[in-house]
């Protein structure tokens, strides 16, 4: 992971949206992705008996279901140190291996960025 002290305003926006989803829904993680047109998709962890999805995979699924064909960036607010390989794979499938994934703590502090690849 690399430190990201100065975030682009659009990246700060997806971190804020991810943090809001986590807090609003009382879930372990919140995530947001930005597609190739600048639209954002926000999600929280899904934990049903029959369906379990991380927040980031849910946000990617929402983007795909809404017609997105690529991603510019993704953000996840989590207690974990980094985005899981499965989460990065979902981002990579839609956005490509160089798509940045911002990883933030629950207070919104961005701890770093990993590539989807």
Over residues 36-78, the pLDDT tens digits come to 999 999 999 999 999 999 999 999 999 999 999 999 999 999 9
> Is pLDDT of 2 > 70?
no
Whose structure tokens read 């899904």? 46
Residues 6+ apart with CB under 8 A from 115: 88, 97, 98, 99, 100, 101
Instruction: Record the pTM.
Output: 0.92
Q: For residues 24 and 33, what is the distance between their CA atoms, to the nearest angstrom?
A: 17
Give, for 111, the enclosing helix (H) or strand (E): strand 110-115
Q: pLDDT category, 35, cuts 50, 70, 90?
A: very high
Mean pLDDT of 77-95: 97
Tokens for 112?
């770093």
- Per-residue confidence (pLDDT) for residue 6, from 0 to 100: 78
Neighbours of 73 (CB within 10 A): 23
């Amino acid at each position: 992971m690399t430190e990201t002290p100065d975030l682009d305003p659009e990246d700060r926006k997806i971190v804020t949206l991810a943090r809001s989803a986590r807090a609003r829904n009382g879930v372990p993680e919140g995530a947001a992705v930005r597609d190739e047109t600048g639209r954002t998709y926000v999600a929280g962890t899904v934990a049903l008996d029959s369906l379990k999805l991380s927040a980031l995979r849910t946000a990617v699924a929402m983007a795909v279901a809404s017609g997105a064909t690529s991603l510019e960036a993704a953000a996840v607010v989590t207690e974990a140190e980094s985005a899981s390989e499965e989460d990065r794979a979902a981002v990579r499938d839609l956005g490509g291996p160089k798509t940045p994934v911002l990883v933030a703590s629950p207070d919104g502090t961005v701890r770093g960025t990993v590539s989807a690849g």
